[in-house]
Amino acid sequence: MIGKLFVIATPIGNMKDITLRAIDTLKDVDVIFAERPRHSLKLFHHYGIKKPLYPYNDKNWQRQIETALKLVKDGKNIALISDAGTPAIQDPGYRMVNYFRQKNIGVVPVPGPCAFVCALQASGLPTDRFVFLGFLPRSSEKKKKILKTYGSLSATLIIYESPLRVKKTLNDIKDSLGEREVVIVRELTKVHEEFLFGTPSQLIPKLEKIKGECVILVKKSD
């Protein structure tokens, strides 16, 4: 019998944000593919998970997908976890899932934390319709083009951003969409979790020394 691929969400900060099923599944599988094995070891020590760990990232994904496929064909169940949150959401996990689907191999989702859902659920912005844009291109020109395209929809926009580029992206939002209501969320579920509210002009002066991973939400036009 061939094995299955379990796609398992892990915490985005607070170690308690993991489901009982995720812990059980991580203990049950034969091998775990992790984006940053050393980083994941802290979580595994905490929950007593002891399994062979294989690195799976942007650089080695092609080779490691073949390794994973061989293991599954040998009857092993494998897990895929990312650095944080839900695998396949803005990380190389998608490629493994896609490949396994093409080969008709069972893929089982084990849901849990995801940064953009966490940001949206406590932002106070409309949740009836939203568009997840993930990471935008670094060039302002390309970024503004995407913002204008999706900004015309009647939906909350959600963007992932590094703290180093938040200020620049807020300027691009101001240039392409004007003074819309924006929420910047950083360090979700961590000690310094923070929600900043305002228009781009109100927020830009506060972003000089912003730290931590960020999610930017933009309200739809009125």
Nearer Cβ to ligand SAM (3/119):
119
Q: Which of 85, 92, 151, 200 binds ligand SAM (CB under 6 A)?
A: 85
Least separation in angstroms between residue 113's CB and ligand SAM is 7
213 makes contact with ligand SAM (CB under 6 A): yes
Q: Are 116 and 71 in contact (CB under 8 A)?
A: no
Least separation in angstroms between residue 125's CB and ligand SAM is 16
Least separation in angstroms between residue 90's CB and ligand SAM is 4
Which tokens sit at 188? 């979700």
- The Cα 101–Cα 88 span in angstroms is 13
194 makes contact with ligand SAM (CB under 6 A): no
Helix (H, G, I), strand (E, B) or coil at 57: coil
84 makes contact with ligand SAM (CB under 6 A): yes
161 makes contact with ligand SAM (CB under 6 A): yes
Least separation in angstroms between residue 73's CB and ligand SAM is 27
Q: Are 91 and 84 in contact (CB under 8 A)?
A: no
Nearer Cβ to ligand SAM (3/184):
184
- The Cα 146–Cα 75 span in angstroms is 44
186 makes contact with ligand SAM (CB under 6 A): yes
Helix (H, G, I), strand (E, B) or coil at 7: strand
Helix (H, G, I), strand (E, B) or coil at 63: helix
**Neighbour-count burial of 208, counting CB atoms closer than 10 A to its CB (0-12 exposed, 13-18 middle, 19+ buried):** exposed
Least separation in angstroms between residue 70's CB and ligand SAM is 26
86 makes contact with ligand SAM (CB under 6 A): yes
| Cβ density class 174-203: b for 16+ within 10 Å, e for less | bebbeebbbbbbbbbbeeeeeebebbbeeb
Nearer Cβ to ligand SAM (2/131):
131
Nearer Cβ to ligand SAM (17/181):
17
Please report, as ranges, the residues that interact with ligand SAM according to CB under 6 A: 12-13, 82, 84-86, 89-91, 114-116, 160-162, 185-190, 213-215
